[in-house]
Structure 1
Amino acid sequence: MIAGVRRLVTQWTAVVPVLAVVLLVFTWGRSLPGAVVGIVSLVLAASVLAAVHHAEVVAHRVGEPFGSLVLAIAVTVIEVALIVTLMVDGGAKGATLARDTVFAAVMITCNGIVGLSLLSASFRHGVAVFQSEGTGGALATVATLATLCLVLPTFTKTKPGPEFSTSQLIFAAAAALILYGIFVATQTVRHRDYFLPITKQGDVIDADDHADIPTTRTALTSLGLLGLALIAVVGLAKGVSPTIESGVEAAGMPHTVVGVIIALLVLLPETIAALRAARRDRVQTSLNLALGSAMASIGLTIPAVAIASFWLSGPLVLGLGSTEMVLLALTMLVSTLTVVPGRATPLQGGVHLVVFAAYVELAVTP
């Protein structure tokens, strides 16, 4: 019975990514009627669940923190492609698209995913435990990247407006890539043990004991299906974005809300994977996913849009406004106080979720 259920789930998660990509091919670049939007939305949701399944298979095969890194980089690379595509088609609205998307990703990961993970783990297991050494280093990297790439452009004087000059943009892009590269080397090679889940007694959990390790062939198959599922998630999200834009405009909300909604859709696989890890008392894995995604979003997106800006017409606005900078500063302060003890209660999770709720509220009604 159990084997039959597992076989059914495996078949379902294999069929959905292929079906989603086929649907993407037939709907790409077309104006979709309401009924088709409904079908696309259902397939989009199924693709998210399939992506989570295959990401967990790959993660279980390669172990932590490599598994979290695979999902974070895969999602971000495809997200970058989506941003550049939308910048080409977006006209004047494309000037702030990269900034809005990256900032939304930082707030969703550092407050939404972290808050939900801490709340879930602490309610289920009493206290959420993680390693402050690795998590603190990740948070410091996110804070540095966010400040260099999203805050400083508001205060530079070489170019009017919240923009970098050419040399400043090149420096920010190079610094983002270098910092991200150093972090990946630290996380996966030199200090890998700082990013492994731990027990309440402080013992490192170097492997998951809830299932047999998948074979190399199974892991490679899941890796390919994960790529297909993520392409489908981002592509179908772009397909339904005109409907989302129409709804946002009809409701009288600012255009930045569209970026928030798209970011939420794109980050759904990581959100579900992080919550599943938290429920298994692998809070470190949840934090690896959250902070790794925030870091990859900045460290890969900014260099990509910097290169794209050399042949795209129009300005590239990266600097945040005053409200967003206050929220970013509050996020980094709260995150630091959460990380330092290496353990968290439902209170810390609730604080992060309130900050995230404030971000959503102010995005809708600035």
Structure 2
Amino acid sequence: MTWSDRIRSLVSKWTVVVPLLALIALVLSWGRSLPGFAVALVGLCLAGAVLAAVHHAEVVAHRVGEPFGSLILAVAVTVIEVALIVTLMVGGGDKAATLARDTVFAAVMITCDGIVGLCLLVGALRSRVAVFNPEGTGAALATVATLATLTLVLPTFTTSKPAQQFSPAQLGFAAAASLILYGLFVTVQTVRHRDSFLPVTPEGEVREEEPHVPPPGHYAALLSPVLLVVSLVAVVGDAKAVSPTIESGVESAGLPQAVVGVVIALLVLLPETLAAVRAARRDRVQTSLNLALGSAMASIGLTIPAIALATVWLSGPLVLGLNSTHMVLLALTVVVGALTVAPGRATLLQGGVHLGIFAAFVFLAISP
């Protein structure tokens, strides 16, 4: 097969065409008020871009290996999530004061309870007991808990500024601490203790390669990183295009404004959710946990510093402190997560418990 034939074969695949269509939908809908049928079309493009993003993320992950593959997807999604939050905050004024907090906290609950619970459930259904490395997973959970406490819990108790806000100096410290902790974790995950984040066998032995899956071709490996970025941009951009409809629907239904942050986080985290579930179905639960906890960590460690920098030109208050209900849910998530991670093995029960906490979060977001 010639070089041009290979290119034509790749271009003819839906995983190439759909991201481009979703990007076109983003360009045509950007900054416009969309009628109902246009919202439906953009929604379809959004769903297709999510599926394409999962495919290309798996190609990249297989090419570079774990844990780099999980890290690439987590960082890519979070960087675009930050751009979406900042974009919505620019025109939101005081109404958007809690948007960053609501979205980041929703991302933590979705990843640490929703994705973790679903993947443990899928892994346990496949192999009766889901097996993972407690050393790497425990380190990731500890980092997530520390980041969440420093950035989302402490503002509720500080006294320099009222109403769950950091002072400029406190916000700068939280941003610097978040970046340092995230960078330290990435170094440990990818360099010094990489084996702690690789999938393991039921006997606890490290499993380096994906079993029975041929490596991606040269051209697919070159094209997939580009299409992954295109797909993620389209996911977030199309989500922003339909967000006015979501906001008006939330307002019409009389739901709290925090629901908007939950919906945004759900849309943005769809690629990682599907990728994590697929990994769990292949009995690679460690990869699923890398994706889930890595996404939670990146969501805090990258979003808070970016928002802190954006406050230089953003007007209006920035409310980061959680209320008492959310702090209880966060504490429960950390305690249950620690008990789940410690043995390095999980059954249907652990998956169900995490999903129960996630269900409580969604219900209380709708009915506080």
Runs (5+) with no aligned partner, structure 1 = 1-6
Look up the match of 2:102. Answer: 100
Look up the match of 1:250. Answer: 252
State whether residues 10 and 16 of structure 2, in contact with CA within 8 Å, keep that contact through their aligned partners in structure 1. no
Look up the match of 2:279. Answer: 277
Q: CA–CA distance in 2 between the matches of 1:302 and 1:189?
A: 25
Residue correspondences, number: 360
State whether residues 197 and 205 of structure 1, in contact with CA within 8 Å, keep that contact through their aligned partners in structure 2. yes
Q: CA–CA distance in 2 between the matches of 1:9 and 1:363?
A: 42
Q: CA–CA distance in 2 between the matches of 1:89 and 1:8?
A: 40
1:10 offset after TM fit, Å?
A: 7.0
Match of 2:98, SS? helix
1:249 offset after TM fit, Å?
A: 1.4
Please say if 1:138 is aligned against 2:140.
yes
Alignment of 1:289-300 (within 5 A): 289-300=291-302
- What does the per-residue CA deviation read over 1:267-294, in whole Å, with 9 as the maximum and x for residues that have no partner? 0000000000001000000000000000
| Residue identity opposite 1:299 in structure 2 | G
TM-score by length of 2: 0.96
Look up the match of 2:51. Answer: 49
Q: CA–CA distance in 2 between the matches of 1:159 and 1:244?
A: 32
1:19 offset after TM fit, Å?
A: 1.0
Look up the match of 2:264. Answer: 262
Greater displacement, 107-116 / 155-164: 155-164
Look up the match of 1:13. Answer: 15
| Alignment counterpart, residue 91 of structure 2, candidates 89, 92, 110 | 89
Please say if 1:194 is aligned against 2:201.
no
TM-score by length of 1: 0.97
1:29 offset after TM fit, Å?
A: 0.6
| Residue identity opposite 1:19 in structure 2 | L
| Residue identity opposite 1:92 in structure 2 | D
Q: CA–CA distance in 2 between the matches of 1:8 and 1:116?
A: 33
| Residue identity opposite 2:28 in structure 1 | F
| Alignment counterpart, residue 336 of structure 2, candidates 334, 337, 348 | 334
Alignment of 1:232-243 (within 5 A): 232-243=234-245
Match of 1:205, SS? coil
| Alignment counterpart, residue 183 of structure 2, candidates 175, 181, 184 | 181
Q: CA–CA distance in 1 between the matches of 2:361 and 2:324?
A: 13
Look up the match of 2:304. Answer: 302
Q: CA–CA distance in 2 between the matches of 1:154 and 1:127?
A: 39
Q: CA–CA distance in 1 between the matches of 2:11 and 2:353?
A: 36
State whether residues 274 and 290 of structure 1, in contact with CA within 8 Å, keep that contact through their aligned partners in structure 2. yes
Q: CA–CA distance in 2 between the matches of 1:281 and 1:330?
A: 27
State whether residues 274 and 289 of structure 1, in contact with CA within 8 Å, keep that contact through their aligned partners in structure 2. yes
| Residue identity opposite 1:328 in structure 2 | L
Q: CA–CA distance in 2 between the matches of 1:297 and 1:244?
A: 22
Match of 1:320, SS? coil
Match of 2:353, SS? helix
Q: CA–CA distance in 1 between the matches of 2:73 and 2:269?
A: 10
State whether residues 189 and 196 of structure 2, in contact with CA within 8 Å, keep that contact through their aligned partners in structure 1. yes
Q: CA–CA distance in 2 between the matches of 1:107 and 1:216?
A: 38
| TM superposition outliers: structure 1 runs of 4+ over 3 Å | 7-10
Q: CA–CA distance in 1 between the matches of 2:252 and 2:155?
A: 32
State whether residues 87 and 97 of structure 1, in contact with CA within 8 Å, keep that contact through their aligned partners in structure 2. yes
Look up the match of 1:33. Answer: 35
Match of 1:228, SS? helix
State whether residues 61 and 215 of structure 1, in contact with CA within 8 Å, keep that contact through their aligned partners in structure 2. no
1:188 offset after TM fit, Å?
A: 0.4
State whether residues 79 and 266 of structure 1, in contact with CA within 8 Å, keep that contact through their aligned partners in structure 2. yes
| Alignment counterpart, residue 120 of structure 1, candidates 107, 114, 122 | 122
| Residue identity opposite 2:188 in structure 1 | T
Look up the match of 1:351. Answer: 353
| Residue identity opposite 1:319 in structure 2 | G
Look up the match of 1:22. Answer: 24
State whether residues 61 and 216 of structure 1, in contact with CA within 8 Å, keep that contact through their aligned partners in structure 2. no
Look up the match of 1:4. Answer: none
Q: CA–CA distance in 2 between the matches of 1:325 and 1:211?
A: 43
Q: CA–CA distance in 1 between the matches of 2:319 and 2:15?
A: 40
- What does the per-residue CA deviation read over 1:46-83, in whole Å, with 9 as the maximum and x for residues that have no partner? 00000000000000000000000000000000000000
1:216 offset after TM fit, Å?
A: 4.5
Look up the match of 2:3. Answer: none
Q: CA–CA distance in 2 between the matches of 1:246 and 1:320?
A: 24
- What does the per-residue CA deviation read over 1:25-44, in whole Å, with 9 as the maximum and x for residues that have no partner? 01001000000011111110
| Residue identity opposite 1:351 in structure 2 | V
Greater displacement, 8-17 / 164-173: 8-17
Match of 1:167, SS? helix
1:219 offset after TM fit, Å?
A: 1.7
Q: CA–CA distance in 2 between the matches of 1:289 and 1:143?
A: 16
1:217 offset after TM fit, Å?
A: 3.7
